[in-house]
Amino acid sequence: MKHPIFFLFFVLATISVIHATPHGLTKRATQFTQCVTFDISGTAPIDITEAAVEVVIYDDNDYYLPVNGNVCELYKHCPVKKDTEFDFQFLIKPKDLPQNYHIDVWIHNATCFAL
């Protein structure tokens, strides 16, 4: 009489453990999003021969993520003459872009003058 009860207890305990163990057989949808691309445009107040683009992304806690680039590598018509309009795209590939953020864009020439 003791053996069938022990066997039943063992089977129920085994089923309980198997049911409680997580398994990775559920399908998960992988979502890929596009990288963030910004159009940077304006009118050059001075001649731009060689300048750096600095894009700073701030979140709600004023944590910032600086991203840098070179204007002449991003803009095909470099150098840019004074009072000439320019327009180029800047691709940002941050690891973790916050849900809410604001962006500052700075263009510096060789003398660190913000354009």
Please report which helix (H) or strand (E) contains residue 12, including its range: helix 2-20
- pLDDT for residue 94: 64
Instruction: Say whether 63 sits in a helix, a strand or coil.
Output: coil
State the chain's mean pLDDT as an integer: 74
pLDDT in tens, 46-76: 777 776 677 777 777 766 667 777 777 777 7
CA R_g for the chain: 29
Question: Residues 42, 48, 54, CA angle at the centre, nearest 5°?
Answer: 65
pLDDT at residue 14 greater than cutoff 80: yes
Q: E strands within 44-100?
A: 51-59, 64-70, 85-92
pLDDT at residue 38 greater than cutoff 60: yes
pTM: 0.47
Across 29-33, 57-61, 91-95, the highest mean pLDDT is recorded for: 57-61
User: From CA 100, how far away is CA 85, in angstroms rounded?
Assistant: 30
- pLDDT for residue 16: 84
Which distant-in-sequence residues (6+ apart) come within 8 Å of 16 by Cβ?
none
- pLDDT for residue 111: 62
With bands split at pLDDT 50, 70 and 90, how would you rate the model's confidence at 83? confident
